[in-house]
Amino acid sequence: MTARLQHKIAFITGGGSGIGAATARRLAAEGATVVICGRRRAPLDAVAGEIRAAGGDAEAVVVDVSDEAAYTAALEDCCQRHGRLDILVNNAMAYTWGAIEAMSNADWTANFATSVDGTFWGTRAALRLMKARGGAIINVASICGTLGTPSMAGYSAAKAAVINFSRAAAAEGAPFGIRVNVVIPAVVETPATAGMLADPAARASTEKLIPLGRVGRPEELANAILFLASDEASYVTGAALPVDGGRSAVLVTAL
């Protein structure tokens, strides 16, 4: 354990698995007290227990970030109990599949409740709570928010909104020393992608499109989030950082 985030308080949504869990482990390993939230108690407790067993400081709270009152209250409670909030990682996500012509209004709006509304509510609360001493907000978007993806129009629109919302939030937070940045993953090996990646043909076709030749690991996203959360990124705000193995940098890869 090192101390790049010593004495920092970090709140991470979607912390029970995937990128959120990896981020919680990474930030805790650097000295932060991490509070992770999600909708299911068991995976949250497992991640928090793992962090504590490794010598870190972690708490788990059950919160659905698509519930404005519950999410805002959880952030305020975290700040009250610990005396501050230094880092917020808006990582929780939800999505629906479907062609546009067949998509219902309910399926369309379901993409926004967690990714956009939750990110807005969390960022709004964090701006208020961090105003006195500054802080870092990292919002997790997706390559779907920068490149068109068939059958994922709602999710793509939601993640595009997260990217540009974060730029506006960065401009508003800057006078108070609050930095707001985005990380943009492509395909990462998480529970959400496990089904697709379990098919060897689907995995091979996916990896063929990535210049580095493989899908990402949650820990690689966590490393990028750690940098943006740390004082090493003290002059970085309003950035949208692709962490995608080069996928967004190329039109096609070599055949």
Which sequence positions are flagged as catalytic?
Answer: 155
Distances from the Cα of 216 to the Cα of 188, 190, 245, angstroms: 4, 9, 7
Adjacency order of strands within the sheet including 135-140: 57-62, 33-38, 9-13, 87-90, 135-140, 178-185, 240-243
Secondary structure (3-state) at 252: coil
Secondary structure (3-state) at 73: helix
Distance from C-alpha of 247 to C-alpha of 244, rounded to nearest angstrom:
6
